[in-house]
């Protein structure tokens, strides 16, 4: 099939490359000429494991190319995916739909004949219906434009796998539309994926839009739940990691997304819960999502708690302290620093008088752009020189497995602070470090191996 993908950010570029991988002919469209040029030369404008190979394969096969020209896209295909960003509005909780609107306004008048626009961006409920009306209003008399919604659930760091082997595919259709052609087209686009037995759920437009934001709101709630429990664990001297393991064995709860620590960031969860609250208010259901305000505030409190922990480690003041921050990306296997908890903490420490040296394996360029005033080191070793405290704020593998002996000779004081509860407390303490963890210090218990346990 021939398809276009509007928007070539994380979502759009991944979707375009993966659609080509499935054998479709794909034209990606973006307003940024530099991005388009890089993508056409097989270069990704961001880091995403495995995606470079998929992109190159698509380009080499001749099935994948990118353009800034929406007229070319209008002529290229009858199926158009919409994957542009919907960031948080400046100074407000709601989503900024500027990019979504501009794609429709630009594309719709150029279409002739039957066209299907499949939205993938995360949008406030009601947007898809509104975009359908907007497209039809701008359409030529000989054009018939349908708008459907097919939310995307990919995670950064696993984007290729999540796109080619998703947990489910959700398709929202206009409830007034009795035609089954839209569903058939989408089934054809995803035929290879559906052959694997992936659940395919057809809903109305509003439900499809809400599925996406509800999923992100649930994940955010799960993280803030365990972080709230970690505050109690810390006060009670209990171990929140063991607690999460124990409750996670209950299949109704599940262990995933119960990692306590510095909390969630990134370009999705924080802005999505805020936009969801704003939309619920607009719809006259303001009380329904007030708990998300608490979810947000628990999450932001983790950042403040991390600053407090670092201050305590430095003897009560950050003035004149040298702090090493390991990690800047909002999570490992990503170079994304949008609303990154790690960078936010680094910035706050600097504002309180510390000299902060940051190192991240992939996110250095993006961090420099957002926070040019922090010091950026070339390596862990470089970052750790003269430190009064070393903070691990993103759980990259090379930080998790860092040998304390490697950094001991470099630092001024041996304080390690585990913001993601990912380090081996015993290894650090054995090497002579003072270990602190966000959410309370994990217990060191004498353990008995299973086969020496005598029961009953």
Catalytic residues, by residue number, are 268
CB nearer to ligand UGA: pick between 25 and 336:
336
Contact 342, 330 (CB under 8 A): yes
Residue closest to 351 by CA, chosen among 413, 304, 299: 304
Q: Quick one: which segment of 251-259, 281-289, 357-365, 432-440 binds ligand UGA (CB under 6 A)?
A: 251-259
> Please, what is the minimum distance in Å from the beta carbon of residue 207 to ligand UGA?
17
CA distance 127 to 446: 56
CB nearer to ligand UGA: pick between 63 and 331:
331
Q: Which residues contact 388 (CB under 8 A, 6 or more apart)?
A: 313, 314, 321, 322, 323, 411, 412, 413, 415
CA distance 143 to 74: 11
Contact 187, 194 (CB under 8 A): yes
Residue showing tokens 């400046």? 90
CB nearer to ligand UGA: pick between 221 and 415:
221
Give the count of beta carbons closer than 10 Å to the beta carbon of residue 77: 19
> Please, what is the minimum distance in Å from the beta carbon of residue 317 to ligand UGA?
28
Residue showing tokens 């009601």? 126
Strand runs labelled E in 150-193: 169-173
Q: Which residues contact 184 (CB under 8 A, 6 or more apart)?
A: none
What tokens were used for 208? 């499809």
What tokens were used for 396? 């990259």
- State yes or no: residue 330 binds ligand UGA (CB under 6 A): yes
Q: Which of 66, 264, 359, 376 binds ligand UGA (CB under 6 A)?
A: 264
User: What is the C-alpha R_g of the chain?
Assistant: 24
Contact 332, 265 (CB under 8 A): no
> Please, what is the minimum distance in Å from the beta carbon of residue 248 to ligand UGA?
10
- State yes or no: residue 164 binds ligand UGA (CB under 6 A): no
Q: How would you list the strands of the sheet with 389-392, edge to edge?
A: 375-376, 355-359, 322-326, 389-392, 415-418, 434-437
Q: Quick one: which segment of 88-96, 167-175, 260-268, 317-325 binds ligand UGA (CB under 6 A)?
A: 260-268
Contact 48, 329 (CB under 8 A): no
CB nearer to ligand UGA: pick between 103 and 387:
103
- State yes or no: residue 338 binds ligand UGA (CB under 6 A): no
- State yes or no: residue 258 binds ligand UGA (CB under 6 A): yes
Q: Which of 263, 361, 404, 440 binds ligand UGA (CB under 6 A)?
A: 263
What tokens were used for 230? 């970690």
DSSP 420: T
Q: Quick one: which segment of 92-100, 124-132, 256-264, 347-355 binds ligand UGA (CB under 6 A)?
A: 256-264
> Please, what is the minimum distance in Å from the beta carbon of residue 398 to ligand UGA?
16
Q: Which of 78, 89, 136, 155 binds ligand UGA (CB under 6 A)?
A: 155
SS3 percent helix, strand, coil of the chain, rounded to 5, is: 45, 15, 40
CB nearer to ligand UGA: pick between 46 and 153:
153
- State yes or no: residue 51 binds ligand UGA (CB under 6 A): no
> Please, what is the minimum distance in Å from the beta carbon of residue 211 to ligand UGA?
11
What tokens were used for 177? 């539309």
Q: Which residues contact 381 (CB under 8 A, 6 or more apart)?
A: 406, 407, 410
- State yes or no: residue 266 binds ligand UGA (CB under 6 A): yes
Q: Quick one: which segment of 96-104, 258-266, 277-285, 404-412 binds ligand UGA (CB under 6 A)?
A: 258-266
Give the count of beta carbons closer than 10 Å to the beta carbon of residue 101: 15
Q: Which of 21, 48, 156, 333 binds ligand UGA (CB under 6 A)?
A: 156
Report the site for ligand UGA in 341-380 (rule: CB under 6 A): none
Q: Which of 46, 93, 153, 200 binds ligand UGA (CB under 6 A)?
A: 153
Q: Which of 119, 261, 419, 442 binds ligand UGA (CB under 6 A)?
A: 261
Q: Quick one: which segment of 24-32, 134-142, 203-211, 266-274 binds ligand UGA (CB under 6 A)?
A: 266-274
> Please, what is the minimum distance in Å from the beta carbon of residue 53 to ligand UGA?
20
Report the site for ligand UGA in 268-307 (rule: CB under 6 A): 268-269
String of contacts with ligand UGA for each residue 191-220, x by CB under 6 A: -------------------------x--x-
> Please, what is the minimum distance in Å from the beta carbon of residue 322 to ligand UGA?
26
CB nearer to ligand UGA: pick between 261 and 404:
261
Which stretches within 357-446 are classed as H helix? 364-370, 380-384, 397-400, 404-407, 425-430
Q: How many residues bind ligand UGA (CB under 6 A)?
A: 21
Q: How would you list the strands of the sheet with 2-6, edge to edge?
A: 64-67, 25-29, 2-6, 79-82, 113-119, 143-149, 169-173, 200-204
SS3 (DSSP) at 361: coil
Residues that bind ligand UGA (CB under 6 A): 122, 152-156, 216, 219, 223, 257-259, 261, 263-266, 268-269, 330-331
């Amino acid at each position: 099939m021939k398809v276009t993908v509007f928007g070539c950010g994380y979502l759009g570029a991944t979707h375009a490359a993966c659609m080509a991988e499935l054998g479709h002919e794909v034209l990606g469209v973006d307003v940024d000429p530099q991005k388009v040029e890089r993508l056409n030369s097989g270069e990704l404008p961001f880091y995403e494991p495995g995606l470079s190979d998929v992109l190159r394969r698509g380009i080499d096969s001749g099935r994948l190319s990118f353009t800034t020209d929406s007229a070319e896209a209008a002529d290229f295909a009858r199926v158009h995916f919409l994957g542009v960003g919907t960031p948080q509005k400046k100074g407000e909780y709601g989503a900024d739909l500027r990019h979504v609107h501009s794609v429709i306004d630009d594309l719709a008048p150029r279409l002739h004949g039957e066209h299907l626009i499949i939205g993938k961006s995360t949008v406030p409920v009601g947007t898809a219906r509104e975009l359908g009306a907007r497209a039809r209003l701008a359409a030529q008399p000989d054009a018939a434009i349908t708008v459907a919604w097919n939310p995307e659930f990919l995670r950064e760091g696993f984007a290729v796998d999540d796109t080619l082997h998703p947990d489910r595919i959700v398709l929202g259709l206009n409830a007034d539309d009795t035609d089954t052609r839209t569903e058939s087209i989408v089934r054809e686009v995803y035929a290879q994926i559906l052959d694997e037995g992936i659940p395919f759920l057809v809903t109305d437009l509003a439900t499809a839009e809400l599925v996406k934001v509800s999923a992100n709101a649930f994940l955010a709630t799960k993280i803030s739940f365990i972080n709230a429990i970690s505050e109690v664990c810390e006060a009670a001297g209990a171990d929140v990691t063991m607690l999460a393991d124990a409750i996670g064995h209950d299949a109704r709860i599940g262990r995933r997304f119960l990692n306590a620590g510095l909390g969630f960031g990134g370009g999705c969860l924080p802005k999505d819960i805020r936009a969801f609250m704003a939309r619920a208010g607009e719809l006259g259901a303001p009380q329904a999502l007030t708990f998300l305000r608490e979810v947000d505030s628990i999450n932001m409190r983790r950042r403040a708690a991390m600053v407090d922990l670092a201050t305590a480690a430095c003897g009560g003041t950050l003035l004149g302290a040298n702090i090493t921050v390991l990690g800047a990306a909002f999570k490992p296997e990503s170079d994304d620093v949008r609303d990154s908890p790690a960078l936010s903490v680094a910035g706050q420490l600097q504002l309180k008088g510390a000299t902060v040296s940051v190192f991240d394996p992939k996110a250095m360029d993006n961090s420099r752009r957002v926070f040019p005033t922090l010091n950026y080191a070339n390596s862990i070793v470089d970052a750790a020189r003269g430190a009064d405290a070393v903070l691990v704020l993103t759980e990259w593998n090379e930080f998790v497995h860092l040998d304390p002996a490697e950094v001991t000779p470099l630092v001024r004081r041996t304080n390690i602070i585990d913001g993601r509860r990912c380090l081996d407390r015993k290894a650090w303490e054995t090497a002579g470090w003072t270990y602190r963890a966000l959410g309370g210090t994990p217990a060191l218990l004498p353990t008995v191996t299973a086969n020496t346990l005598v029961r009953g």
